[in-house]
Amino acid sequence: MSSLITACKEPRTKISIRRIRRSELPEDTIALARFLIGKVVVHDLPAGRVSGRIVETEAYPPGDPAGHHFRGPTLRIKSMYLAPGHVYVFFNYGAHFMLNVVSEAPDTAAAILIRALEPLEGIEIMQRHRKTAELLDLTRGPGRLAQALQIDRRHDGVDLCEDEKLWLGDAGQSAGLIGKSVRIGITRAADKLLRFFERGNPFVSGPKRLLQPPPKRRKPRLRASS
């Protein structure tokens, strides 16, 4: 068992988490997707606080053919046109809610999917929500983390920089090495490297082949002229 998982199991003192201001958010979807690695999603519930450190994101910038906003505004995606730091929640495959962070200036639709968290606080509460004691099954994957943190369509449009219960924070723990790869489960613009993750973190989701650094290309050898 990794030292990170062992640390998650040990009793923790209360974690000091500073709220992130909107002015701190980069004004670009891809830059924000990287910035969010290592930051914390906090949800203060009646049963207690649950929180997790973001270890994996996917960017869906303006004009992205893979984004819900590609064909223009609809009622379902109206929250994507809010200011950066707002929540966009959608229901995927009729089974899972997905937490996204709006990422561009108002009236320009774009968002970042939060794909995985490293659990920090309220682990027992998350275990009840997920009906499992397995740490790696709590918040590894967007559907799991939404269930663990009890995030659903009621939170669509919430301002993560202003809301009292669901908010974005910084626990003072910088991210490790950040890797990037293609996004998971899409068919359009599937070759774009818009998925970011903390290398070596066991709570990152997705196929293992996407966690490895891309192979180095060998430079062609020049033949000596005769």
- Provide the pairing of β-strand 48-60 with 111-121: antiparallel
Residue 21 domain flag: yes
Q: Is the pTM of this model over 0.75?
A: yes
Q: pLDDT at position 92, please?
A: 82
Q: Is residue 225 part of a domain?
A: no
Q: What angle do CA 184, 110, 37 make, to 5 degrees?
A: 60
Asked if the structure places residue 197 within a domain, the reply is: yes
CB 32 within 8 A of CB 176: no
Confidence check: pLDDT of 24 > 80: yes
Q: Is residue 223 part of a domain?
A: no
Q: What is the distance between the alpha carbons of residues 37 and 54, in angstroms, rounded to a whole number? A: 5
How sure is the predictor about 226, in pLDDT bands with cuts at 50, 70 and 90?
very low
- The parent domain of residue 80 ranges over 3-202
Total domains in the fold of the chain: 1
Higher pLDDT, 14 or 172: 172
Task: Kindly tell me the burial class for residue 211, based on how many C-beta atoms sit within 10 Å of its own C-beta (0-12, 13-18, 19 or more).
Answer: middle
Strands of 155-211, DSSP E: 166-170, 178-181, 195-198
Residue 220 lies in a domain: no
